[in-house]
Amino acid sequence: MNHPDHSVKSRVAAISIFASAGMAAAKFVVGIAIGSLALVSEALHSSVDVVATIITWLVVRVSDRPADKEHHYGHGKLESVSALGVIALLYVLAGGILVESYSRLREGVPPPTISAIPFIVLLVDIAVNFWRARALHRTARDTKSQALAADALHFASDVLGSVAVIIGLALSGLGYAWGDAAAAVAVAVMIALLGLRLARSTVETLLDRAPEGASEKAAAAIGAVAGVVDVERLRVRMVGSTHFIDAIVQVPRTYPIDRIDEIKRKAQDAVSRALGDADLTFTAVPVARNNESVRERIMVIARNSGLAVHHVTVHDLGGKLTVSIDLEVDGEMALTAAHDIAHELERNIREEFGEDVEVDTHIEPLEPELPLGADAAPERVKAIKAALSRFAADGAIHDIHSVRVRNTDAGEIVNFHCRAAPSMSVIKVHEGVDEIERALRRAFPTMKRVISHAEPPDA
């Protein structure tokens, strides 16, 4: 699929070819007819522009092609290479003009024949080139095309060159024989100065110099994304119109992978808004934040060891930490192996918090991923629902509903919903539900697990 800027750049470059060729031919014919070196030099300059524009038209048809297996960063650098080639042509032309001008000034030649025709041609040329230079510059700025920027610079130099030729012809008409050659020198100098300006930016791009202000904008955009702790390192380079950004970004080590992936996506969107066409390589570095809780740090230790833990409780006993953890392991694992895993986890926790921390690990079998089960008989469900309603009759927990009972290989599992007052704290709700669950287990000893869901009353 072609880049959206491709058709715009190709169309602008193609129009410029016909305009350049027409004006170059007109100036060359008139310059030869009246014997004006300045006008012929300007015509040759425009002829180089024709060649440059043809190169530009060909280049922009290739430079926007997407990356492939041989060009991982696309083909945008081709624009910079073509711009250098055009600049070389301009300097060859400027050197030739200077040599011929010096020869005429030294040897002396008859002044050109002055009439209204060369002035009319030059005024038309100024108008056409001024319009083309503005159109090309605008398109080059919008598409960040160095090839079109080079073309725009050529046409801007044509405007200045035409003004210099007009002045030279006017001086020749006033009797100053050197006016025409001096105007040709002025054209050569302007070509050289403008070419130097473009050469500097083109070489900087080829040397991967970061565009002015791009690093600051990219760092600010990434740093503003929620979840980013800091931008550790950032590099930017231009390939054609695309900003390629390599960023090493610090993120909280407590974040799961899917959260970090979301941060990457938001960072890409942020730099695209800040810089336009951007391709971000995002390397996430997990770091510990100053506000991490002890529980979060323990969860990180367990996750780094690939262990499943829950019910992590931490107490501070006057400067001494006590930690209790439920560790899940394969139920078929031998106790010796499970104890070694628990011991290694405890050792890692003490390395993090100090040798005086008190750690107790409760080892339990890991729940199977997809245990087999079946719905209990309706009579069984009815009996359990009645018991739940009875246990909740005189408490703050009420309206027992959505009762489900399943028989599994591990035992009977019960799920139910209930309601509580909206103003009740989570602790109070949890205590009330726990009391009902304990009563249910006493009444039905075969029950493996009871899972409740408390919610506020319906509006």
In which residue are the tokens 């290479």 written?
A: 81
As given in the structure block, the two tokens for residue 357 are 């921390």
The β-bridge partners of 451 are 415
- Taken in order 137, 141, 143, 147, is the CA torsion positive or negative? positive
Domain 294-365 belongs in CATH node 3.20.20.70: no
Give residue 259's pLDDT: 92
By CB atoms closer than 10 A (0-12, 13-18, 19+), residue 202 is: buried
**Beta carbons within 10 angstroms of residue 352's beta carbon:** 14
The answer to whether 323 and 358 are in contact (CB under 8 A) is yes
CB-CB contact of 169 with 38 (8 Å)? yes
Residue with tokens 């930690």: 323
Answer CATH for 6-206 from 3.40.50.2300, 3.60.20.10, 1.20.1510.10, 3.40.50.720? 1.20.1510.10
Beta bridge partners of 407: 374, 412
pLDDT the model gives residue 285: 93
The answer to whether 195 and 90 have CB atoms below 8 angstroms apart is yes
Query: What is d(CA 144, CA 386) in angstroms, rounded to the nearest whole number?
Result: 74
User: Among all chains, which residue has been given the structure tokens 């006993």?
Assistant: 317
What CA–CA distances, in Å, run from 278 to 19, 61, 217, 274?
34, 20, 12, 9
- Taking the CB of residue 215, how many other CB atoms lie within 10 A of it? 16
First to last CA, the chain: 53
A 10 A CB-CB count for 446 gives: 8
Give the Cα separation of 421 and 398 in Å (integer).
9
Domain map (residue ranges) of the chain: 6-206, 214-287, 294-365, 373-455
CA distance 209 to 222: 20
Residue 227 makes CB contacts below 8 A (sequence gap 6+) with: 251, 252, 255, 259, 260, 262, 263
CB-CB contact of 418 with 400 (8 Å) = yes
Beta-carbon neighbour count of residue 125 at 10 Å?
26
Give pTM, 2 decimals. 0.55
Q: What is the CA radius of gyration of the chain?
A: 40
Look up the CATH number of domain 373-455.
Answer: 3.30.70.1350
Whether the domain at 6-206 and the domain at 294-365 fall into the same CATH topology: no
321-329 and 358-365 as β-strands: parallel, antiparallel, unpaired? parallel
214-287: CATH superfamily? Cation efflux protein, cytoplasmic domain (3.30.70.1350)
Largest CA distance in the chain: 123
Q: Which residues of 12-38 are buried (b: 16+ CB within 10 A; e: fewer)?
A: bbeebbebbbebbebbbebbeebebbb
Q: Are 255 and 284 in contact (CB under 8 A)?
A: no
Question: CA torsion 251→256→257→262, rounded to 10°?
Answer: -70
Q: Using CB atoms within 10 A of its CB, is residue 107 exposed (0-12), middle (13-18) or buried (19+)?
A: exposed
Q: How far is CA 336 from CA 198, 243, 333, in A?
A: 74, 56, 8
Indicate the DSSP class of residue 452: E
Mean pLDDT of residues grouped by 10 in the chain (459 residues)?
A: 54 67 81 80 74 68 65 63 75 78 72 79 82 76 66 69 81 81 82 78 71 88 93 86 89 89 95 89 89 88 90 86 92 90 93 90 80 87 94 89 89 92 91 93 89 85
- Residue 192's nearest CA partner among 160, 167, 169 is 160
CA distances (Å), 174 to each of 26, 182, 374, in order?
24, 14, 110
pLDDT for 359 equals 92
Tokens of 395: 């408490």
